[in-house]
Amino acid sequence: MPPQQFGNPLEGLSMYSSLWIFGYGSLIWKPNFEFSEKKIGCVKGFVRRFWQGCISYRGVTGSPGRVATLVKEDQGTTWGVAFQVKGEEQVLGALKHLNMREVVTGDYQLLTLTFYAQDGSELSVLAYVATPCNRNYLGPASSEDIAKDIACSSGRAGPNTEYLFRIVEFMRELLPEVEDEHLNEVNQYTKDFIECNRQQSGSLHQIHHYSLLNT
């Protein structure tokens, strides 16, 4: 099924008695809406990339964090979690929350994609995907440069590193057989930068301490 695009989801989707919503970033561990069921699986034809800038939850103006979006790639696969919302209360609650969080800012569009669950079932899911023309879109960069941004960014929801490490943890604990080269590269570079900064901070502390002893 080719992806289908929606505008404001409250205009056309609130009539549904049941919907599935695909999480591939922070929704994996923090959907912040009531749901009836969840399944682990993947969507095909897309890859997860840290190309969307964030100046609220994982960064600030002038020092944006990097969060995940889906980028079209013919042979690509992105693993995550599909959440089922059932009944008017759950459907409206989820759509209102996600519409405010993702769509109203103008940073994301809503697509319908086919989700391939681990149990063999196929579902039609909604996915929020960053629009390349949005003002916070950072776009392609090397894994090393992406890691630099992530290693030094933080916002209202906490450090950008926590966001990255939570996705890595999900993949390693629940999908150890799946290789996500981009995610693993960004993760390793980020850890390297953190360790380098820690060592530099330690060296500066030692120099300062030595200077105080000799004054």
Active site residues per annotation: 102
Residues in CB range of 21: below 8 A, 6 or more apart: 27, 31, 35, 82, 83, 85, 94, 98, 125, 126, 127
Backbone angles phi, psi at 160, to 5 degrees: -60, -30
The Cα 25–Cα 190 span in angstroms is 17
Among 150, 195, 142, which residue's Cα sits nearest to residue 168?
150
Token pair listed for 61: 């103006």
Token pair listed for 26: 């922070």
Token pair listed for 105: 């800012």
